[in-house]
Amino acid sequence: MIRSTHLPLLITLATFVLAYALCASAYPAMLSWRVIANLLTDNAFLGIAAVGMTFVILSGGIDLSIGSVIAFTGVFLAVILRDTSIHPLVAFALVLTLTTGFGAAMGATIHYLEMPPFIVTLAGMFLARGAAYVLSTESVPITHEFYDTLQGLYWKVDGARFRLIGGLMVLTFLVGIITAHRTRFGQNVYALGGGEQAAKLMGVPVARTTIGIYAVSGGLAGLSGIVFSLYTSAGYSLATVGVELDAIAAVVIGGTLLTGGYGFVAGTFFGILIMGLIQTYIVFDGTLSSWWTKIVIGGLLFAFILLQKGLTWAAQKRAAQARRRTATGSAALS
């Protein structure tokens, strides 16, 4: 059933369909499985990180550290696979534990020291990036047969290769959607975003939820780092600078309110695809310079912020009118 709260999601979806239609009409070649497969593969790491960011933003927070955490994960994996004989799967488990713990620590700092998420995750951003530098300032290549195996996994449709990492992103989104809407944790995230004070009064475990949210974001940034290392076969401490901005942009374009409380994980998926589409279009065009990506994404961001502003405003107006109306219309007097 379609409800008014789904409107931002529908608009994002419509934007995507429209954008794709425009692209396809200009370059019919874009209407191929190959383009779709590449869209998924190329944006896999960003998409996974954006799922974590969606939870953070839904709760009314922000996480600036994810770009650095992705880079750290890549370097960590590259160095550990170079210097030890640990199996990559063990390394994955290790790094995921590390990044999840890192996120949880940031969440705990935010909650217990009552500090703004912006500043705490800024410190986290410096810390993770610094740790990556300390491990290695050079780009470290990853050569391991297990990596080759993983990279070689794909599902072929009409000559297009749907790779493992794209599938992993889709899976992450599915798990994210279910977590957001079908678990108590997800509901608590929305509750925090709706108002911490009220959530507290209604018995939401604020400490546990806050720590959990940033742990999820940190953990998904770690997963994103693993995917990024599979994508590039290297770990480089200067990589993925500013990915947090792209993730925030995807979340907002996906229809989530940056002030928290309203939005959908599924929206973020289409936000990612829209951003990927812009890039693909510019590649197809060939004459457009790469900086147009930034400008167009900035413009889209602005458009969606304005749209949200308008929707919030309209909702407030409706609520004010509802207040004026007597309640008897919908309620039986006893």
Partner 1 sequence: MKDTPTHPMPVLHARGISKFFPGTIALDDVDLRLMPGEVHALLGENGAGKSTLIKCLTGAYRRDAGTLMLDGQDVAPGSTADSQLLGIGTVYQEVNLLPNLTVAENLYLGRQPMRRGFIARRRMNAQARDVLAGYGLDIDPAEPLTAYSVAIQQVVAIARAVEMSGKVLILDEPTASLDRDEVQLLFGVIRQVKARGLAVVFITHFLDQVFEISDRATVLRNGRVVGECLLRDVTQRDVVTMMLGRQLEAQVKTRDTGRPGKTLLDIKGLGKRGMIAPFSLTIREGEVVGLAGLLGSGRTETANLIFGAVPADHGQVLLRGREIGLRNPRDAVAHRFALCPEDRKIDGIVGDLSVRDNIILALQARQGWMRPIPRAKIEEIAQSYVRALDIRLASLDMPIRLLSGGNQQKALLARWLATNPDFLILDEPTRGIDVGAHAEIIALIEQLRADGMALLVASSELEELVAYSTRVIVLRDREQVSELTGDQITPDNIINAIATEDAA
Partner 2 sequence: MSSPPVGPRPSILKRIMPQLLILGVALALNVAVFPEFFQIDFRNGRLFGNLIDVLNRGAPVALLCIGMTLVIATKGIDLSVGAVMAIAGAVAAAMVVEGHGWGTAVLAALAAGGLCGLWNGFLVAVLRIQPIVATLVLMVAGRGVAQLVTEGKILTFDNPGLIHLGAGTVAGVPTPILIWLALAALVTFGVRKTALGMLIEAIGINERSSRLAGINSRVLLICVYLVSGLCAALAGVIVAADIKGADANNAGLWLELDAILAVVIGGNSLLGGRFSIIASLIGALIIQSVNSVILLSGLPPEFNLVIKALLILGILVIQSPRIGNFIYLLRASGPQPQPEPPHSTQEEAAR
Among residues 105 and 315, whose Cβ is nearest to partner 1?
A: 315
Q: Which does 194 bind (CB under 5 to 8 A by kind): partner 2, partner 1, none?
A: partner 1
Among residues 7 and 105, whose Cβ is nearest to partner 2?
A: 105
Residues forming contacts to partner 2 in the complex (CB under 8 A) are 62, 109, 112-116, 118-120, 122-127, 129-131, 133-134, 137, 197, 200-201, 206-207, 241, 245, 248-249, 252, 258-259, 289-295, 297-299, 301-302, 305-306, 309
Choosing from 17, 157, 171, 178, the residue that interacts with partner 1 (CB under 8 A) is 178
Name the residue among 130, 78, 95 with its Cα closest to residue 218: 95
Whether the Cβ atoms of residue 236 and residue 74 lie closer than 8 Å to each other: yes
Among residues 87 and 200, whose Cβ is nearest to partner 2?
A: 200
**Helix or strand or coil: residue 262?**
coil
Q: Which does 85 bind (CB under 5 to 8 A by kind): partner 2, partner 1, none?
A: none
Q: Name the helix (H) or strand (E) containing 258.
A: none
Site for partner 1 in 188-217 (CB under 8 A): 188, 190-191, 193-195, 197-204
Task: Sort 323 into a burial class: Cβ within 10 Å, 0-12 / 13-18 / 19+.
Answer: exposed
Secondary structure (DSSP) of 173-224? HHHHHHHHHHSHHHHHHHHHHH-HHHHHHTT--HHHHHHHHHHHHHHHHHHH
Q: Is 287 in the site for partner 1 (CB under 8 A)?
A: no
DSSP 8-state class, residue 243 = H
Among residues 113 and 201, whose Cβ is nearest to partner 1?
A: 201
Q: Which does 119 bind (CB under 5 to 8 A by kind): partner 1, partner 2, none?
A: partner 2
Q: Which residues lie closer than 8 Å to 133 by C-beta, 6 or more apart?
A: 237
Whole-number Cα distances in Å, 296 to 8, 73, 293, 321: 19, 30, 5, 37
Helix axes 117-135, 88-112, angle to 10 degrees: 150
Q: Is 323 in the site for partner 1 (CB under 8 A)?
A: yes
Site for partner 1 in 225-264 (CB under 8 A): 261-262
Among residues 87 and 182, whose Cβ is nearest to partner 1?
A: 182
Task: Tell me how far, at minimum, the Cβ of 194 lies from partner 1, in Å.
Answer: 4
Task: Tell me how far, at minimum, the Cβ of 241 lies from partner 2, in Å.
Answer: 8
Whether the Cβ atoms of residue 283 and residue 81 lie closer than 8 Å to each other: no
Among residues 85 and 330, whose Cβ is nearest to partner 1?
A: 330
Whether the Cβ atoms of residue 256 and residue 5 lie closer than 8 Å to each other: no
How many whole angstroms separate alpha carbon 282 and alpha carbon 300? 16
Residue with the two structure tokens 């990044």? 99
**Binding interface with partner 1 (CB under 8 A):** 1, 3-5, 178, 181-184, 187-188, 190-191, 193-195, 197-204, 261-262, 315, 318-328, 330-334
